[in-house]
Chains A and B, each alone.
Chain A
Amino acid sequence: MATLEANRTVEAVWRIESARVIAGLTRMVHDVGLAEELAQDALVAALEQWPESGVPDNPGAWLMAIAKRRAIDQFRRRDTLERKVVELGRDLETQEAPNAEPDFDAIDSNIGDNLLRLVFISCHPVLSTEARVALTLRLLGGLTTEEVARAFLTPEPTIAQRIVRAKKTLAKKKVPFEVPNAAELGERLASVCEVVYLVFNEGYSATGGEDWMRPALCEDAMRLGRMLAELVPAEREVHGLVALMEIQASRARARLGPDKQPVLLFDQDRSRWDQLLIRRGLAALARAERLPGEPGPYELQAAIAACHARARTPEETDWARIAARYARLVQLLPSPVVELNRAVALSMAFGPAMGLEIVDRLTAEPSLKTYHLLPSVRGDLLAKLDRHAEASEEFTRAAELTRNEAERSLLLDRAKESADRAGSL
């Protein structure tokens, strides 16, 4: 193999195998930082040997064998074996009975369990969100530090430091390598989903074209989400998260206009929506809905996105269904913005008066004081109710608040239009 191609091949195998290798090693040595170092040693060995010998038939097993051997060497050489045994004995979180030595054979049992443990430890609440994101992308996404840095437009040394500190924190706080118990599972899973969705949004809201890394972030997030869905298939919210990401991603090609300005959902060319991703998203949503329990925020947002995805034209949108989903969503996420969205959906389904009732209440909301969409929506509803003078005032106020030039001029147009109609009455 030519060297560049050989390196890329090793990287590709790393992307496929590394999470499992690290997970298995962590199970073995009870230290995720050490596990990653050992895995990296195996990677170096692969980079040295595979260009000559070719990629082995079972690359995952090869990497694991090298790492395992290094682990045993290290323990014996550094005389930490005895110390580790004492630590293990003292560690109340350890699930196996006190052993004479670290269980070097435990790694092969239950790859799925180990992967899941790795997911939970990477997203542990003791770490900052930034640290969780960097660690998860490294350990589970198989990204290099450089790739993570590029993805978040942050200098590489900063990310490297962040990861080192994260591993130290996990070791210092003796965070156990385990799947949370039933009582904590919901909350811990929410933390994992938060990390994945954060990565997705980072990629999704980036302007297209300029940095090629950014759309790839959406792919990374979806891949992590899909992996998670197979690790915890009984969890509704995980399928909801996958559904939400896939349906949102389906609109990527329609989201930016020729001038690279964002296009609102209702103005998008729906024939550019990715039908494959829509179907996958709908399937993931159906999978969530078949499970016991109540829908969580991700599933509800996915259900709303699904209503839009199913409508071939904006006129076919099932607004009543969207309004109902927002009603449930606002109970889980009592945010004024969600309530505003509910108002819009209600007005589309049952007439502007119904929506206005809610929007009027929201004008008192302090957090929405500078939110341009509030007066914008209120203006729209007032105009539909032929209260044009008031509508004009609202559009003017919205135009003052928005920072988007295109939107400002649109709002000013509507303000004038409403003023004219008020004047002609």
Chain B
Amino acid sequence: MRFMVMVKHLENDPNMPEPDEEMFASMARYNEELVKAGVLLAGEGLHPSDQGALVTFRDGVPTVTDGPFAEGKELVGGYWLLEVKSREEVLEWVKRIPADAAVTSRVEVRQVLSDDD
């Protein structure tokens, strides 16, 4: 089973500290564990929305809005694609993601649909 694991956050959140070298090191170790366990399919960080764009279709007509477009909403900051045997397993992996204890952060977990679904 494949799962999309997404770190969600408000862009430019004043309460969210910049990741320091220790956090990078913890993340590197975590990623290494995923690789060693053979469960990591992909993992990426996403640039903030100012380097992106939003295409909104209304009645079939697209309008392009250049970034930033966060509008106080939570966007995906980064994600992992994991291949595991159950929902419980992916949740166990997610619980091990290094987190800054001083703030509250959220990770969304969604199953990737396959042809059999």
| Contact A224 B89, CB 8 Å, known A209-B116, A219-B83, A253-B115 | no
| Cβ-closest chain A residue relative to B88 | A12
Residue ID in chain B nearest A111 by CB atoms: B36
A224 and B83 alpha carbons, distance in the complex (Å)? 12
A37 to B5, CA, bound (A): 35
Q: How distant is the Cα of A16 from the Cα of B33 in the complex, in angstroms?
A: 10
| Chain A residue with Cβ nearest B83 | A219
B35 touches A55 (CB 8 A): no
Closest B-chain residue to A10, C-beta based?
B88
Interface 1/0 per residue, B45-72 and A, CB below 8 Å: 0000000000000000000000000000
Give A33-64 interface residues, CB cut-off 8 Å to B. 55, 59
A287 on interface, CB distance cutoff 8 Å? no
- In this assembly, does B28 line the interface, its C-beta being within 8 Å of a C-beta of chain A? no
A226 at the binding interface (Cβ < 8 Å): yes
C-alpha gap A12/B93 in the complex (Å): 9
| A227 contacts B36, C-beta separation under 8 Å | yes
Say if the beta carbon of A297 comes within 8 Å of chain B.
Answer: no
Give the one of A11, A219, A276 with max B CB within 10 A.
A219
User: Would you list which residues of chain A between 1 and 37 have a CB under 8 Å from chain B?
Assistant: 5, 8-9, 11-13, 15-16
Neighbour of A12 across the interface among B36, B41, B89, B116, CB < 8 A: B89
Cα A223 to Cα B35 in complex, Å, equals: 10
A146 to B116, CA, bound (A): 23
Chain B residues with CB under 8 Å of A72's CB are none
Interface size class of A (residues with CB under 8 A): 20 to 34
Q: How many chain B residues touch A (Cβ–Cβ < 8 Å)?
A: 20
Is B99 an interface residue when CB atoms closer than 8 A count as contact?
no
Docked Cα-Cα span, A212 to B86, in Å, equals 13
Residues of A within 8 A of B25 (CB): none
Q: Which residue of A lies closest to B40 (CB)?
A: A226
Find chain B residues with CB under 8 A from A356 CB. none
Q: Does residue A280 face the partner (Cβ distance < 8 Å to B)?
A: yes
The answer for the CA separation of A9 and B90 in the assembled complex, in Å, is 10
Q: How long is the Cα–Cα vector from A226 to B34 in the complex, in angstroms?
A: 10
A174-194 interface code vs B (CB 8 A; 1 in, 0 out): 000000000000000000000
B39 within 8 A of A: yes
A276-B42, A280-B41 known; A5+B88 contact, CB < 8 A: yes
Which residue from A16, A209, A216 sits with its C-beta under 8 Å from B89?
Answer: A16
A224 touches B92 (CB 8 A): no
| A222 interface contact, C-beta 8 A | yes
**B38 on the A face (CB < 8 A):** yes
Sort A-B residue pairs by CB-CB distance and give the 7 closest, nearest first: A226-B38, A12-B89, A12-B88, A223-B38, A227-B38, A8-B88, A230-B36
A-B contact pairs, 12 of them (CB 8 A): A11-B86, A11-B88, A16-B89, A55-B92, A55-B95, A209-B116, A216-B85, A224-B38, A226-B35, A226-B38, A230-B35, A230-B36
**A residues adjacent to B (C-beta < 8 A):** 5, 8-9, 11-13, 15-16, 55, 59, 209, 212, 216, 219, 222-227, 230, 253, 276, 280
